[in-house]
Chains A and B, each alone.
Chain A
Amino acid sequence: MAKVPVQFTLNGSEKAEFIESGTTLLNALRDKIGDTSPKGGCHQGTCGACSVIIDGELKLSCLTLAETCGGADIKTTAGLAEGGVLHPLQRAFLDAFATQCGFCTPGMIMAAKVLLDRTPNPSREEVVEALSGNICRCTGYEPIIQAVLTAARASSQNAA
Chain B
Amino acid sequence: MSLALRSFSTVKDANAALQAAGTRYLGGGTLVVRAANEGDVSVSSLVRVTDPGLSRIAVSGGDVRLGASVTMAAILRHPELTALAPAARAVGGPAIRNMATVGGNLFAPAPYGDFAVALLALDATVITEDSEMPIETFLAGRDTSRAIVTAVGFSLPKAESFRFLKVSRVKPKGVSVLSIAALLERTVDGTVTAARIALGCMADRPMRATAAEKALLGCKLTRQEIAPALAAAGEGIAPITDPIASAWYRAEVLPVHLGRLLLS
Contact = CB atoms under 8 A, between A and B. Distances in A.
Contacts, number: 86
A63 B34 contact: yes
Interface residues of A, number: 29
A62 B34 CA distance: 8
Contacts of B29: 63-65, 68
Given A51-B95, A58-B95, A129-B94, A44 B5 contact: no
A148 to B, nearest CB: 13
Nearest to A64: B29
Interface residues of B, number: 27
B30 interface: yes
A24 B33 contact: yes
A111 interface: yes
Contacts of A44: 34, 37-38
Most buried by A among B5, B46, B94, B95: B95
B116 interface: no
B3 interface: yes
Contacts of A57: 73, 98
Contacts of B36: 22
Interface stretch (A83-91, A93-101, A130-138): A130-138
Given A2-B4, A44-B38, A59-B98, A64 B93 contact: no
A22 B48 CA distance: 12
A60 B7 CA distance: 20
Interface in B92-111: 92-96, 98-99
A118 to B, nearest CB: 11
A58 B4 contact: no
A6 to B, nearest CB: 11
Given A128-B172, A132-B173, A43 B37 contact: yes
Interface in B27-51: 28-30, 33-34, 36-38, 46, 48
A160 interface: no
Interface of A: 1-2, 20-22, 24, 43-45, 48, 51, 57-60, 62-65, 67-68, 111, 114, 128-130, 132-134
Interface of B: 1-5, 7, 26, 28-30, 33-34, 36-38, 46, 48, 73, 92-96, 98-99, 172-173
